Structure formats: structure tokens, C-alpha cells
Amino acid sequence: LPKKDANVTMAHMWVAFISLLIGGLMGLLQTFVRTGKLTLPFGIDYYQILTVHGVILALVLTTFFIIGFQFALMSKTVGMSDGQRKWAWAAFWTMTIGTIATAITILLGKASVLYTFYAPLAAHPVFYFGLTFVVVGSWIACFVNFHQLYKWKKANPGQKSPLLAFMVVINMVIWFISTLGVASTVLIQFIPWSLGLVDEINILVSRTLFWYFGHPLVYFWLLPAYMAWYGIIPKIIGGKIFSDGLARLAFILFLLFSIPVGFHHQLLEPGIDPFWKYIQVVLTFAVAIPSLLTAFSMFAVFESAGRSKGYRSLFGWFKALPWKDVRFFAPMIGMIAFIPAGAGGLINASNQLNQVVHNTIWVTGHFHLTLATTVILTFFGISYWLIPVLTGRKLDAKINRFGMIQTIVWAFGMFIMSGSMHIAGLLGAPRRSSFSDYGGSEQATEWIGYQYAQAIGGSILFVGILLMMYTFFYMVYAAPKGVEEFPLAEEEQHAPPTPLILENWKLWIGIAVILIAFAYTIPMVDIIQNSPPGAPPFQWPIGRG
Ligand code: HAS
């Protein structure tokens, strides 16, 4: 990777890893508070550290890692011009300024509103301005990526674009369309409200706009992991991409189905017509299909790589996998975790079952398996080769050993923590609450053992974070100098040609917009028209007379 491009990605990695340390520490504290054995010192509030934890890990770490990684993929596959690099830096600094502003308000205790910042919880206006900067910065990154692919297409007319560049652009299109929702609620509702220009806010509108963004957000996290699974892992295991066309189809299905599904986070909210909830639940089941295609594809890659090495028996290919190579091992544990994690997602999405699990700590267990295991272990797996590539060092035996231990520690800690969250959730334990025995309630006493298990799991995970941080610093400053491979996989030679229709951007973005309009227009009009008296949807820019 050219040095100047490497620096862009590396800046993003710094923010991501510092976030990991701070956010992880907050997570550890939370699990202790929930046991009832720890009271936070200096009057620090539980919701303050919960907000730091959620914002800094779910929003800051992910966004910086993803945008940095995607810049590296684009630079490697389609190149980055000087002008594009300047804009990439502009994106980075805009996001960083926004992050700092937001972080300050949370640390001062002026924005303990959790990462979903649901109204009527109110934060200091700077919190919302900070978020706006982060989103605007990420939009600059979107347009840099779009321009990179556009320039490449112009220079290579009629050719299919490199797979990873195609995937990055899909992810950024999803991001751009979905952030329009969160930007609207922040700009039209939260900022005027927090500045005191209006004195009321329509909560259902704000939550609906939030989840219009909030669900595609989880695929914005997942798709970079899939990029590594489809486009990098085959190379690491000595195989080939099973089907370029299938990989692109999966990503297109994400573009189509990841947005019009936000209601599955609002199944228990009154004020939304059940018919439209039903439609969005059907679409939610549709968005599981590209993940099932991915599972199929990965098994096919593993099997064909094993068979090409001469393993003949039914499951012989399993032995052919490079189990001792951390670049494979960490993402592979992530993939295995995604089997129960995805099943949990389908449980959440089923209307009747959602009544049981919604707002319980089961949901927290769900996203610690999906995001904090599947996605994060894949990100760690990427870091072990990407950071040496960026810093001009080698992935040596020490990094590999530490990485393997880190992965095992992480998987073990998460198994305990997330497992007990799932069980406690089924026993009714609420999410997002500090310790309470609910007036000595018998049911609450059932949860206590699981809260301890969460603290044990959380402590093991924190050891995992310290190991990762040590390895990060080692990769940046101490690993032997040299040229590390950027593992880009190639396609199977006899693979059928990729249909060109898969690159018809107008068609796919057009269908995505139609689906969004179908799933949201009528319910949104309905929500606004039937708003309770005194809560008109948008009083902006004029306050109530
Ligand atoms: Fe989710 C809540 C439904 C996936 C994250 N989700 C959340 C929240 C987060 C989150 C953060 O319908 C909480 C939000 C909040 O704060 O309130 N989720 C789903 C569904 C899926 C899903 C249907 N979620 C994710 C992913 C996330 C994520 C991915 C982050 C990255 N989720 C929900 C619902 C709620 C929810 C409801 C609201 C709950 C409530 O009431 O509040 C699907 O995308 C899952 C599909 C996945 C699969 C698995 C495919 C398996 C693969 C692995 C193959 C393995 C191999 C290895 C090849 C069908 C691809 C094999 C090797 C061997 C050795 C065996």
C-alpha cells in the first residue's frame, strides 16, 4: 500500500484502538455495578458509563475501523489519487472533531442518553452537533469511495469492478441512505429541542427515524467482516473465491433489504400499525438470506480449498484449514459464533418471541455475539495483517501467538458473558439497568447468579482487550521491519462469469429506494397524522406560540 494511503488508514486505526481500551474499561465497570457489589466513585452515574461504552464501541470504534479499512481496500484495488486522499483526511478530521465534542459532553455528565439517545432523554446540544459532524465526516468518506470506483470504471470501461471495491461502495451506499434518517431526526428534532427553540419533541417520529438508521447500521458493521470473509480469507487458507457473482448478489440483497426493516426494533411500540410491522418483519426474514448465502459460500470455499490440497473424505477439508494462522483463526471463531448469533436474531425478529425478549438483557447478549464477537473478532483478525502492512512490519510468530491467545480468551469470556445474558434475559432480567433487587422480588434473585457470571465473563474480556492493546502497540512499534502480504483472494478459474446486471447501480439503488418508500411512507404519514395532541411532529423552525 502506498505510504501516504497507509497513513490515512492508520490514523483511523489509532482512534479505533484507543476507543477499544476506553470502551472496554467502561464495559467491565458496568458488569461489576450490575452485581450490586460496586458503587461507582465520585458520583459517576451508571448511565454515564453505559453511554460511554455504547457510543465509543458501537459508534466510534466501528465507524473508524470500517472507514479506515475500506480506504485501505479501495487504495489496494482501485487506487487513491492525491485529491481523494485530501478528502479522506478531511473526512477523518471532521469525524474526529465530532467524536471529541460528543465525548466531552458525555464525560462531563451532560449526555447520559445511551447510544440510541431516545427522547425524552435530553443531552447537551454539543452532543448532537458532535454526532452531526461524525455523520458529515462519514459522508465525505462515502463520496471519496464513490469517486474512487467511478474513476476506475472510467479508466476501465466495460470491465467488472474489483470485488472488494464493489463491496465497499455497496456498504457506503447503505450507510449514506440510512444516515439520512438519523441526520433528519438530529437536525430537525433534537437540535432545535436541545437548544430550547421548541419545547416538545415527537418521540415516535424520532424513534422511527432512529431505527430507520439503526438497523442498517448493524449491516454497516457486518459487511466489512463479510468483505474479509469473501475477499481475504480464501487467500489465507490457500483457496479461491467460490463465486464472485454470488458474493455480489449477497451484497446487493443487503442493499435492498437492510433498510426497510427498522420496525423490528419497535415491535412493542404502540402507534405503529401492526400491518406495517408485519411487512417489515417479512423483509427482516429476507435480510437473513444473504447471510445464509454467505454461510453456504464460506463452507464451499473451505471445502474446495481442502479438496484442492488432496483431502478426499467428507469432512477432511476441515483438517486442511490453517487453524494455527491467526489471520484465519480469529475470523473463523467469529463465523462459528454467528451461527447461534444469527439464530438469536431470527428469534428477535419473530413478533411473538420478541414480546418475551424485548428490553431484556437477552438483546444485549444478542449484540455481544453478533457485533462484539463475529464482527470484532473478524476486525481483530484483519488487524493482525493490516497493521503490519500499514506500519511496514512483519506479522511474526509473537503476533500470531498473542493473537491466538487473544482469540481464545475473547471467545471464552464472551461465551460466559453473552451466554448468561441470554439466559438471564429469558428469566426476565431487564437490559440497561444498574443493580436492583426490585424490593426483594423473588424473580430478581434468580438473576443474581447470572449477573456474577457476566462480571466474570466481562473480566476475562477485559484481559482480552489488554492483550489486544499490547499486540497493537507491538505491531506499531516493535515487530520486525519488513513487507507483510496484503492477502487479496482471486476467483476460481472455472467460475461462471459474473452477470453484468449485478453492477447496474441505478437498478439496485432504485429498487432499494422503492422498497424503503413502500415500507415507510404510509406508516410514517400515519404516525405523523395520529400524533397525540400537543406533540406535532415538527415545530421547527418556529417554537410553539
Ligand atoms: Fe440484531 C437487536 C434481528 C443480525 C446487532 N441487533 C440488535 C441490537 C444490535 C444488533 C446492536 O428483529 C440492539 C439494538 C438496541 O440497542 O436496541 N439481528 C436480527 C436479525 C439478524 C440480526 C434477523 N444484529 C445482527 C447483526 C448485528 C446485530 C449482524 C451486528 C453486527 N436484532 C434483531 C432484532 C432486534 C435486534 C429483531 C431487536 C430486538 C429488540 O426487541 O430490541 C440477521 O441478520 C441474522 C442473520 C444471520 C444468520 C447466520 C448466518 C451464519 C453465518 C456463519 C457461517 C459460519 C461458518 C463457519 C461458515 C442467518 C454466515 C462454519 C464453521 C464450522 C466449524 C461450523
The ipTM estimated for the assembled molecules is: 0.96
Report how far ligand 1's centroid is from the alpha carbon of 375 (Å): 10
**pLDDT given at position 320:** 87
Cβ neighbors of 237 (< 8 A, separation 6 or more) are 301, 302, 305, 320, 321, 322, 328
In a domain, residue 483? The reply is yes
Position 534 scores a pLDDT of: 57
Active-site residue identified among 12, 34, 215, 422:
215
**Ligand 1 midpoint to CA 370 (Å):** 5
CA distance 413 to 383: 20
For residue 425, the CA-to-ligand 1 centroid distance in Å is: 16
Inside any domain, residue 94: no
Residue 300 has pLDDT above 50, yes or no: yes
- Alpha-carbon distance 390 to 226, whole Å? 21
Q: What is the pLDDT of residues 4-58, one digit of tens each?
A: 999 999 999 999 999 999 999 998 888 888 777 778 778 788 888 899 999 999 9
Q: Catalytic site residue 422?
A: no
pLDDT at 363: 96
| pLDDT(277) > 60 | yes
| Over residues 421-450, mean pLDDT | 88
What is the distance in A from the centroid of ligand 1 to the CA of 535? Answer: 34
- The radius of gyration of the chain's CA atoms, rounded to the nearest angstrom, is 23
Residue 395 falls within a domain, yes or no? yes
Q: Is 494 a catalytic residue?
A: no
In a domain, 315, yes or no: no
Mean pLDDT along residues 278-302: 95
Return the ligand 1 atom nearest residue 318 CA: 64
CB 128 within 8 A of CB 190: yes
464 CA from centroid of ligand 1 (Å)? 23
Mean pLDDT value across residues 109-128:
92
Nearest CA owner, ligand 1 atom 41: 358
Q: Determine, yes or no, domain membership for 252.
A: no
pLDDT band at 529 (very low <50, low <70, confident <90, very high): confident
Annotated catalytic residue 133: no
In a domain, 399, yes or no: yes
Give just the sign of the alpha carbon dihedral 102, 106, 111, 117.
Answer: positive
pLDDT attached to residue 25: 92
Domain count, the chain: 1
Domain range for residue 346? 322-487
The rounded distance, in Å, linking the Cα atoms of 166 and 147 is 12
Residues within a 6 A CB radius of ligand 1: 116, 218, 221-222, 264-265, 284, 287-288, 291-292, 294-295, 298-299, 335-336, 338-339, 342, 345-346, 348-349, 354, 358, 363, 366-367, 370-371, 375
Q: Given 146, 147, 432, 452, which residue is catalytic?
A: 432
> Which grid coordinates are listed for 384?
493482525
Looking at residue 536, what is its pLDDT?
55
pTM over 0.90: yes
Q: Which atom of ligand 1 sits closest to the CA of residue 349?
A: 12
Quickly state the pLDDT bin for 533 (edges 50, 70, 90): low
The label of the residue with cell 474513476 reads: 151
Confidence of residue 315 (pLDDT cuts 50, 70, 90): confident
Which ligand 1 atom sits nearest the alpha carbon of residue 265?
Answer: 38
pLDDT bucket at 386, cuts 50 / 70 / 90:
very high
Catalytic residue status for 431: yes
Dig out the grid coordinates for 497 from the structure. Answer: 462469469
Stretch among 113-122, 229-238, 383-392 having the lowest mean pLDDT: 113-122
Q: Is residue 166 part of a domain?
A: no
Residue with CA at minimum distance from ligand 1 atom 12: 349
**pLDDT tens sequence across 480-495:** 999 999 999 988 777 7
Q: What is the average pLDDT score of the chain? A: 92
Nearest-angstrom CA–CA distance, 260 and 274: 15
The residue whose grid cell reads 455523520 is: 135
Lowest-pLDDT choice from 103-117, 240-254, 290-304, 517-531: 517-531
Q: What is the mean pLDDT of residues 259-265?
A: 93
Q: What pLDDT does 65 receive?
A: 98
Question: pLDDT tens-digit profile of 453-468?
Answer: 998 999 999 999 999 9
Residue 496 lies in a domain: no
How far does residue 428's CA lie from ligand 1's centre (Å)?
21
Confidence of residue 272 (pLDDT cuts 50, 70, 90): very high
Lowest mean pLDDT among 104-108, 473-477, 529-533: 529-533
